[in-house]
Amino acid sequence: MSRLAPLSGFPEWSPSERIVEAFVLDTLRDVFALHGFGEIETRAVEPLDRLGGEAEASKAVYMLRRRGGEKFEFGLHFDLTVPFARYVEERQGQLQFPFRRFQIQKVWRGERPQEGRFREFYQADIDVVARENLPAHLEAEVAVVMARALAALPLPAARMRMNDRRLVEGFYRGVGIEGVAAALRSVDKLGKIGPDGVAKELEGQRVSDDAATAILELAKIQSPDSSFREAVLDLWETTPTHGDERAQAVLGEGLNALVALIDSVNAAVPGTAMADLSIARGLDYYTGAVYETTLDGHEDLGSICSGGRYDSLVAGGGFPGVGMSIGVSRLVSRLVSRELLVATRSVPSAVLVAVIDEANRPLSDSIAARLRARGIACEVSPTAAKFGKQIQYADRRGIPYVWFPGDGEDGEVGVGQVKDIRSGDQVPADADAWMPPADDLRPRVVRG
């Protein structure tokens, strides 16, 4: 039997850490639903040929074969976009468009694990997909929904960094770059390999020095409002070539769209959106807004919520959409490892109902049933040990209250005593009426 050891890249949480994760997932679900996103789940596997494509992740697909089987049948999905595209394509006749969906599932990537990068992790995606035309205001809407979802968690402030692919494409073409996609993928590595590394890669792509300098300057432009527009236009004026009219038109389109996007998101969730023209996103399919999100003070974690607008969700064309994805496990891993969020206890039970002796266990069961009928989570002591031992048991489990059944002499079997084992306070109580303070009812998740 293989030795017992955690598998690198496959995180598992303790019961109290799982409470934090479940709280995060439930909060996201609630906010998504409040904004009219319906939930779907897709199977974990896709045919292998659908898991190809340009994404880095496709190299890291886990392929599946049955024990004793002869061929690989499927692969595990590496994101939720590929299965979502297939789901929409399959059901296009039944779905109503624009189709608004959220999807929260685990995905798998056989990459080298490192901090914040897992082989199995939860993603939480929202997308809006139209049949033909996708109005630009939906690019603001998905960002607003995600900003509100993150704001619903007691986290450091989230900063959404935005760019627009048309802005980048117009500018790149304008300064004479032909391989826009390749140049973009290099700029996407700016954080990892620095400007010199990017310049070297661009040289390899036969990008001129002037053009490389210009696009590295472009990537420096940031603003918390629409003032980036001036900076881009100034840079554009000083570049040696200005490109053709088409490039300039595309640049203008992207600039206007990004101004409108930033203004619109900040109007809804003040202080959240900023222009950051270094945001490239590695995937070719984006055609409008692109987003990344960092948590203040945790920029080293990288983006926890990314996405963009695409012209066509499915291979055959059509179905333009916009979506964003939260890397839930990356986020939760930071939250629990730094104890930024903690559960107030590790068990659901608010009350341990003590047992006088085994003959009286049904009395304790009946008290527990009365408490549960009013939404109070509880458990009955597993043994009828001395009360001191039963209190110790509650204490070890982190259960705040112990209920001592009365003798039922006055015929009211539900009447007994309840002890707050933290303070030692003990009061008479009726199982059909007593409520713990709201803070004790269920484990809560609070800032650590």
Give, as ranges, the residues between 99 and 138 that touch its own copies (CB under 8 A).
Answer: 100-101, 106, 108, 110, 120, 130, 135, 137-138
CA distance 80 to 84: 6
Of 287 and 346, the one with the shorter C-beta distance to its own copies is 346
CA distance 230 to 440: 54
Site for its own copies in 274-303 (CB under 8 A): none
- Cα angle 69, 72, 75 (rounded to 5 degrees) comes to 130
Q: Is the dihedral of CA 197, 201, 204, 206 positive or negative?
A: negative
Of 106 and 189, the one with the shorter C-beta distance to its own copies is 106
The least CB distance from residue 349 to its own copies, in Å, is 4
Does residue number 87 form part of the binding site for its own copies (CB under 8 A)? yes
Of 59 and 200, the one with the shorter C-beta distance to its own copies is 59
What is the phi/psi pair of residue 339, to 5°? 50, 40
The least CB distance from residue 379 to its own copies, in Å, is 3
- Compute how many residues bind its own copies; rule: CB under 8 A: 92
Does residue number 383 form part of the binding site for its own copies (CB under 8 A)? yes
Site for its own copies in 140-169 (CB under 8 A): 141
Does residue number 444 form part of the binding site for its own copies (CB under 8 A)? no
The least CB distance from residue 32 to its own copies, in Å, is 8
Does residue number 267 form part of the binding site for its own copies (CB under 8 A)? yes
Does residue number 4 form part of the binding site for its own copies (CB under 8 A)? yes
Q: Are 390 and 405 in contact (CB under 8 A)?
A: no
Q: Is 361 helix (H, G, I), strand (E, B) or coil?
A: helix
The DSSP-derived string for 314-349 is STTS---EEEEEEEHHHHHHHHHHTTSEEES-SSS-
Instruction: Give the contact letters, 316-355, x = binds to its own copies (CB under 8 A), - = no.
Output: ------------------------------xxxx------
Does residue number 385 form part of the binding site for its own copies (CB under 8 A)? no
Of 242 and 361, the one with the shorter C-beta distance to its own copies is 361
Where are any strands of DSSP class E within 96-235? 99-108, 120-129, 158-164, 222-223
Nearest to 161 by CA among 308, 279, 330, 310: 279
Which of 181, 315, 435, 446 lies at the binding interface for its own copies (CB under 8 A)? Answer: 315
Which of 20, 24, 28, 40 lies at the binding interface for its own copies (CB under 8 A)? Answer: 40
Does residue number 34 form part of the binding site for its own copies (CB under 8 A)? yes
What is the phi/psi pair of residue 312, to 5°? -155, 115
Q: Within a 10 A sphere around the Cβ of 379, how many other Cβ atoms?
A: 19
